[in-house]
Amino acid sequence: MKAFWEEKKFGHKETTAVPGAFHSAVRALVKQRLIESGGNWASFVFGSSYDLIAREDFERIESDLLASGYRFDVSAVVSAKETPEKYKPLRGQDEYEIATEAINGKLKVGHGDNVVKYPQNVVGVARYVHTADDVMELMINGVPPDTIAIIDDSGGTLTAPILESFKAVVCMGGTVRSHLGILTREFGIPCLMNAKVSGIKTGDRLELNTSAGAKTAHDYQTGVEKPAEVWKLVEESPR
């Protein structure tokens, strides 16, 4: 019979090397401390583990991961601002521009994972919502009509007070199963998660391909890509 730390609990192998390395390090830590405790699993979990495993142990595992050159994806701007050494550079900033030829008045500026497939695409006006101050301003002055909110935090807490007022949401982090993905689905607000966008400024008119197929948990597990495009609507130059 396999020991508990050798068993596969969830039936699916990690799809990338990083979770596997992190989980292996945690399992090795727990195994070592359990043996050191001299007790059984129940007494360890509900008793001595609180004394034998400390925050510093997990910080050391994280430090080893970062020492390899790995950087975490940003799910909230505040994380990257407080500890920039742990995160990849922020993407989707409004000052970044790209040069691409417009086709039929549309300039492709990115894509994301569609949370729910709707009968038609959504057209609206881009507005970045990065911070609590941004949310407070919109709460006081109101969310402008047809706002497509471009946000970083996949948790949903930041924009919860004004979420119902958005026409659509483009989120830089998370997946369709993140808190924000669940909230937008329940509110009936079109949403693209895990978005990669560039060349968008507040006030630009956007079209989201929300009529694309929704990405499922199985798609994530099997590596299936279902990019739902983000277009900036522009006037074509005369030929």
Chain segment 140-191, per-residue pLDDT in tens: 999 999 999 999 888 788 899 999 999 999 998 889 999 999 999 999 999 9
Rg of the chain taking only CA atoms, in angstroms = 22
> Exposure of 97 by Cβ count < 10 A (0-12 exposed, 13-18 middle, 19+ buried)?
exposed
**Number of domains the chain is built from:** 2
pLDDT at 237: 47
Question: Which parts of the chain have pLDDT scores under 70?
Answer: 1-16, 74-78, 90-101, 236-239
pTM > 0.75: yes or no: no
Residue 131 has a pLDDT of 86
The pLDDT value given to residue 10? 44
Q: Give the whole-angstrom CA distance, residue 116 versus residue 45.
A: 40
In the prediction, which pLDDT does 145 show? 96
Q: Would residue 79 count as lying in a domain?
A: no
Question: Do 120 and 195 reside in the same domain of the chain?
Answer: yes
Which pLDDT value is given to residue 162? 96
110 and 65 within one domain: no
pLDDT for position 3: 52
Number of other CB atoms surrounding residue 199 within 10 Å: 19
**CATH, residue 113:** 3.50.30.10
pLDDT (0 to 100) of residue 16: 65
Q: What is the pLDDT of residue 134?
A: 92
Looking at the structure, do residues 44 and 110 belong to the same domain, yes or no?
Answer: no
Q: Are residues 122 and 206 in the same domain?
A: yes
pLDDT at 163: 95
Both 49 and 127 in one domain: the answer is no
Task: Find out whether 111 and 187 touch, Cβ atoms under 8 Å.
Answer: no
